Structure 1
Amino acid sequence: MKLAGSCHCGAIHFTLDSAHPYPFNRCYCSICRKTAGGGGYAINLGGDAASMSVEGREHLSVYQASIEGQTSPAERYFCRHCGSALWVYDERWPKLIHPFASAIDSPLPVPPETTHLMLSSRASWVPVAAAKADLQFDHYPEESIAQWHQRLGLSR
């Protein structure tokens, strides 16, 4: 599926291909919550890094979080004008880009279940609105974005 996204002010527009377009996870870690999570969590998608095209690249900024005193290799891209969180890239998985569902302008498919992860970092004011079929994890689950899509027969 071709995904198109942008920042709020319109300075940055991007497209990429995604075999895993369902917004299936809610990450409650402090990094996602504080940098991109309007509901106390962020939702990441999976995309093909080689297919990514960006207009307005000069308006991008990158944030790399500190985790236990170490700089994370994950690069969180955002618009330096409006602050919109756009995507995460991590050199450990160079073929992947993880755009935030909140930055995608294309209609996204509705997931049949949701994975709530990093619940041990959840802010006390954030309720976990989990449906009966949803999975919940204090940390990261073993199942990847690709594996979740495959298990449910949703890969494109």
Structure 2
Amino acid sequence: MKLQGSCYCGAVTFSCESKHPYPYQHCYCGICRKTAGNGGFSINLAASSDSLKVQGEENITTFQATVKNPEDKSAKVSTARRNFCKKCGSMLWLYDPTWPELIHPFASAVDTELPVPPERTHIMLDFKPSWVDPKIGDNDKKHARYPEESIADWHARLNLGC
């Protein structure tokens, strides 16, 4: 499925191809919530990084978060690069060189009508602030941290390939 997206001010537009376009995974971690969250979570998709086409690339800036381990209080800089519009601050996509074949557009930046997921997966619930009230459906999956099921596996399990 071809995804087309943009920032709020229109300085950046992008397109990419996704085999996994269902916006099913709600992430409640502090990084996602504070950089791109609306409602206390963010949603990202998976697409092919070699299909990414960008207009207005000069208006993009990136951010690499420091990931803190709550168990031992250690911290490290994430390899993931969050791409934002430097004019309006819109979160656009995440790219991590650990998985160079993937790009993760944020659903909030995608202008293409996305399919409605038959169930959702709520991740990083250990980091959800008390004011956030997740809308967890009967068939939804809940995870304190990361699930073992990948975005591709979720789509395959539900026979939702594109």
TM-score by length of 2: 0.95
Structure 2 equivalent of residue 127 of structure 1? 133
Greater shift after overlay, 66-75 or 111-120?
66-75
- Which stretches in structure 1 are left out of the alignment for 5+ residues? none
For residue 150 of structure 1, give the secondary structure of its aligned residue in structure 2: helix
Structure 2 unaligned regions, length at least 5: 69-74
DSSP-derived class of the 1:54 partner: strand
Aligned length: 156
1:80 Cα offset (Å): 0.5
Q: Distance in 1 between matches of 2:24 and 2:67?
A: 25
Q: Which runs of 4+ in 1 moved over 3 A?
A: none
Cα deviation 1:55-112 (Å, max 9, x = unaligned) = 0000000000001321100000000010000000000000000000000000000000
Letter in 1 for 2:26: R
Partner in structure 1 of residue 48 of structure 2: 48
**Percent identity of the aligned residues?**
54
Task: Report Cα offsets for 1:19-39 as digits up to 9, x if no partner.
Answer: 000001000000000000011
Residue equivalent to 1:28? 28
* Mapping of residues 4-83 of structure 1, within 5 Å: 4-68=4-68, 69-83=75-89
Distance 2:103 2:148 in 1: 19
Return the alpha-carbon distance in structure 2 between the equivalents of residues 121 and 86 of structure 1. 23
Cα RMSD over matched residues?
A: 0.5
**2:100 & 2:59 partners in 1: Cα distance?**
22
Corresponding residue SS for 1:154: coil
